[in-house]
A and B are shown apart, each in its own frame.
Chain A
Amino acid sequence: MELTGAQSLIKSLESQGVEVVFGLPGGAILPVYDPIIDSSIRHILVRHEQGAGHAAEGYAQVTGRPGVAMVTSGPGATNIVTPLANAFMDSTPLVVVTGQVATQSIGTDAFQEVDITGVTAGVTKHNWLVTNARDIPNVVAEAFHVATTGRPGPVLVDFPKDVANSLTTWEEPGPVDLPGYRPPAAADPAAIAAAAELVLAAERPVLYVGGGVLKADASAALSRLVELTGIPVVTTLMARGAFPDGHRLCFGMPGMHGNFTAVTAMQRADLLVALGSRFDDRVTGKVSSFAPLAKVVHVDIDRAEIGKVRRPDVAVVADCRLAIEALLAALRERAAARPGALDPTRIAPWIATLDEWRERFPLAYDRAPAPDARGGPPPLKPQYVIEQLRAATPEDTVLVSGVGQHQMWAAQHWRFDQPRSWVNSGGLGTMGFAVPAAIGAKVGRPDRMVWAVDGDGCFQMTAQELVTASAERIPVKIAILNNAYLGMVRQWQHMFYEERYSEVYLSPDLPDYVLWAEAMGCVGLRVTSHEEVLPAIEKANEIDDRPVVIDFRTDSMEQVYPMVPSGLSNDEIVLHPSQQGLAR
């Protein structure tokens, strides 16, 4: 049957199981928007192409399926470069289709022409320029294959207008033929055996769990590993929820704003088992003094991560779930042959030490702040808002955040007990991520309540997507922690620039977030005192037919603690002022 290239593309997306596309049409992609009318695919019309990309990321992070976005050439395509870079850093499977000028115009500086495959080569796993409509089914199949296998990531398919308009036929794509693409799967038994021996010999081991555990759907396997070995767990920013915070062996988040116990556990450990984590600078602090006593087992599906930052003693290049299962089997085998090999008393003193640290150095903030100097009510602490939000929302709520102080407070003070319940921008640190990502998350998991904790600076970058959410009846809920500042920058100026605040003040009232929310078809609420927090959250929770925005007026002076100052050793961790001076 003859069909157009545009129809072939839509049919190819359908055959890949695509249910939803986030996008915005324009000249070069116009032909593809016609067959969308007749397609089973739901198209969600965003207000800015960046929103399409982040929404697709939010969708992918909660579902584990690739997010799909479609935009036009030129500015449409460049507007989605940030989400591609974000997805590349956070290993999020994304398929982005960009329109392109007709093939005979490529290279002529035609209207809305940009060499987007060139621009995005460094921020995609791979990209394709389709030059013949016959290739469409295979290219789309390759694109989804590359995006979702191995270390997941974003890909881009550039689609010239004449290819979209040309007549072709559609055939079921054959097996993907990419001779240079061979993602690893199973772990090398010798490496697993070596890892097992290190685990059995360790007295102060830590499981350093990263986002790869979530990508590999390895949470259940990880739980079995913890139950078998009793080894304590830390979960990185990208891995919050990969292991339940409520578990007695979960010690929370390490890193620049990690809690004392998680940070110090790694510093004192004699073995780090890194599972799908990449020794990011925000986790290691000064690399030369990171975990100085530890042997390292590094499990990663991306061979290039092995030894990139820290040379491991044992490298396991494999899918995290398969690697953990193989390690479990190897440990059980050894425990059977050597009774007592997994005797929990060996690491009991270590666990006792961690428990003691957790008791003495919990995450801290001023829970009873004094009234402000002018006699007004005490300032609202952002951490309090997050704790109240957690307490008032269902267990399986999906939490989304932007980037900055609010993100760190959310990662610290929310209790994550389920995988894929936390969506944030980790590696790239993309302000403005939260609102569109929350929309994508809600589309992916309409059965879950989706809350975004956002900053006032972040919110202003992508708030227009709430128009999308209202129009499409996507009832996301946004909690703005409005401290009237670019708070994290302010915090650095406070700590490292002698309180010389340069270009960080935003004003709490300009814009008026409640009016703005209502103008976008949302319910807007404002909270200025502790007493109003819970009622506002409860009211928001009851609204399910439109988005809700709550403008929480929070304490401008609040800082994120603990903090490992940039470039220093994790041993230099700075605790909350109320804990400073406590003997460690």
Chain B
Amino acid sequence: MSAGSPRLAAAEPPTGSGPALVPGSPSPRAGKRLRHHVVTLVVENKAGVLVRVAGLFARRGFNIFSLAVAPTHDPRLSRISIVVDVDSAPLEQVVDQLDKLVNVVQIDELHPLDAREAELLLVTVAVDGVSRSQVIQLAEIYGGKIVDVGPGAVTVRLASAPEALDDFEEVVRPYGILQLQRTGRIALPKLGYES
């Protein structure tokens, strides 16, 4: 499988710009990303809650870009971070409908500018004798870690701001992405913005 695999190609819009991206620099897609809002839900940690949340999105015609869910520090509660396409529905309507779910204890909407966001990426990149060190070097620049090494590929783990993950994807894409999994973004309010 090469970097031009149809599945990945379809999922990623062409950027046109070269891979000369530095961590922290504004991504060429930053403007587009403001269509997204992060909605974080604190939900009761009960069977079927995720289905209720996801089902509500489907039923009301709201689009989800990504979704992350795990228990909080309080084992009775889980936190779900959903990146919502605010073009698909007014954010207020999404929040109000979610708030009606009996298992949703708390709901916060976060504008990307008010949020600390993070995401985790695992990517297996095709390498040969020449490119192996280049990929390892790129991973280091982005603060990633090589978690697996094979004869023709390395797997990189990178936890960072979602935009940095986007950038890293672009810089390794020319080498050939064999497999890629991202967790979807999670977020907490920036300190000082917390309600």
- Give how many A residues have a beta carbon under 8 Å from the other chain's beta carbons: 18
Q: Report which of A118, A122, A179, A307 forms a contact with B44, defined as CB distance below 8 A.
A: A179
Contact between B96 and A180, CB atoms less than 8 A apart: no
A188 to chain B, nearest CB (A): 16
CB closest residue in chain B, given A302:
B100
Contacts of A126 in B (CB 8 A): 101-103
Q: Which of A178, A304, A307, A308 has the most CB of B within 10 A?
A: A304
Contact between A307 and B55, CB atoms less than 8 A apart: no
> Inter-chain contact count A-B, CB under 8 Å?
43
Contacts of A306 in B (CB 8 A): 96
Contacts of B48 in A (CB 8 A): 117-118, 121, 129
Q: Is A478 an interface residue (CB 8 A)?
A: no
Contact between B59 and A118, CB atoms less than 8 A apart: no
B-contact bits for A292-316, CB 8 A (1 contact / 0 none): 0000000000111011100000000
Contact between B59 and A180, CB atoms less than 8 A apart: no
Contacts of A308 in B (CB 8 A): 93
Contact between B92 and A180, CB atoms less than 8 A apart: no
* Interface of chain A residues 97 through 140 with chain B (CB within 8 A): 117-118, 121-122, 125-126, 129
Contact between B102 and A181, CB atoms less than 8 A apart: yes
Q: Is B39 an interface residue (CB 8 A)?
A: no
A308 to B100, CA, bound (A): 14
Q: Is B26 an interface residue (CB 8 A)?
A: no
Q: Is A146 an interface residue (CB 8 A)?
A: yes
Q: Is B22 an interface residue (CB 8 A)?
A: no
B84 to chain A, nearest CB (A): 15
* Interface of chain B residues 54 through 107 with chain A (CB within 8 A): 55-56, 59, 90, 92-93, 96-97, 99-106
Q: Report which of B47, B97, B101 forms a contact with A180, defined as CB distance below 8 A.
A: B101
Contact between B93 and A180, CB atoms less than 8 A apart: no
B79 to chain A, nearest CB (A): 13
Contact between A304 and B44, CB atoms less than 8 A apart: no
B105 to chain A, nearest CB (A): 4
CB closest residue in chain A, given B103:
A180
A308 to B52, CA, bound (A): 21
* Interface of chain A residues 127 through 178 with chain B (CB within 8 A): 129, 146, 178
CB closest residue in chain B, given A308:
B93
Contact between A304 and B99, CB atoms less than 8 A apart: yes
A179 to B106, CA, bound (A): 9
Contacts of B106 in A (CB 8 A): 180
A126 to B46, CA, bound (A): 13
A181 to B44, CA, bound (A): 11
Contacts of B90 in A (CB 8 A): 307
Contact between A180 and B102, CB atoms less than 8 A apart: yes
A129 to B103, CA, bound (A): 14
Known contacts A126-B102, A180-B101, A180-B104; A118 and B96 CB within 8 A of each other: no
Contacts of A178 in B (CB 8 A): 102
Contact between A121 and B93, CB atoms less than 8 A apart: no
Q: Report which of A118, A146, A303 forms a contact with B51, defined as CB distance below 8 A.
A: A118
A306 to B96, CA, bound (A): 9
Known contacts A303-B99, A307-B92; A180 and B44 CB within 8 A of each other: yes
Contacts of B101 in A (CB 8 A): 126, 180
Contacts of A307 in B (CB 8 A): 90, 92-93
Q: Is B156 an interface residue (CB 8 A)?
A: no
A179 to B105, CA, bound (A): 6
Q: Which of B56, B105, B106 has the most CB of A within 10 A?
A: B105
Q: Is B126 an interface residue (CB 8 A)?
A: no
CB closest residue in chain B, given A180:
B105
A178 to chain B, nearest CB (A): 6
A174 to chain B, nearest CB (A): 17
Q: Is B127 an interface residue (CB 8 A)?
A: no
A121 to chain B, nearest CB (A): 5
Contact between A122 and B96, CB atoms less than 8 A apart: no
Contacts of A129 in B (CB 8 A): 47-48
Q: Which of A118, A179, A180 has the most CB of B within 10 A?
A: A180
Contact between A125 and B92, CB atoms less than 8 A apart: no
Contacts of B56 in A (CB 8 A): 122
A308 to B97, CA, bound (A): 10
A156 to chain B, nearest CB (A): 12
CB closest residue in chain B, given A151:
B100
A94 to B93, CA, bound (A): 25
A125 to B48, CA, bound (A): 14
Q: Is B43 an interface residue (CB 8 A)?
A: yes
Contact between B43 and A180, CB atoms less than 8 A apart: yes
Q: Which of A118, A121, A306 has the most CB of B within 10 A?
A: A121
A284 to chain B, nearest CB (A): 17
Task: Give 11 CB contacts A-B under 8 Å.
Answer: A118-B48, A118-B51, A121-B48, A121-B51, A126-B102, A129-B48, A178-B102, A180-B43, A180-B102, A180-B104, A307-B92
Binding site for A on B (CB under 8 A): 43-44, 47-48, 51-52, 55-56, 59, 90, 92-93, 96-97, 99-106
For the complex of A and B, the 3 pairs showing the least CB-CB separation, nearest first, are A304-B96, A126-B102, A180-B105
Given contacts A122-B59, A125-B100, A306-B96, 6 further A-B contacts (CB under 8 A): A121-B51, A122-B56, A125-B102, A126-B101, A180-B104, A304-B100
Binding site for B on A (CB under 8 A): 117-118, 121-122, 125-126, 129, 146, 178-181, 302-304, 306-308
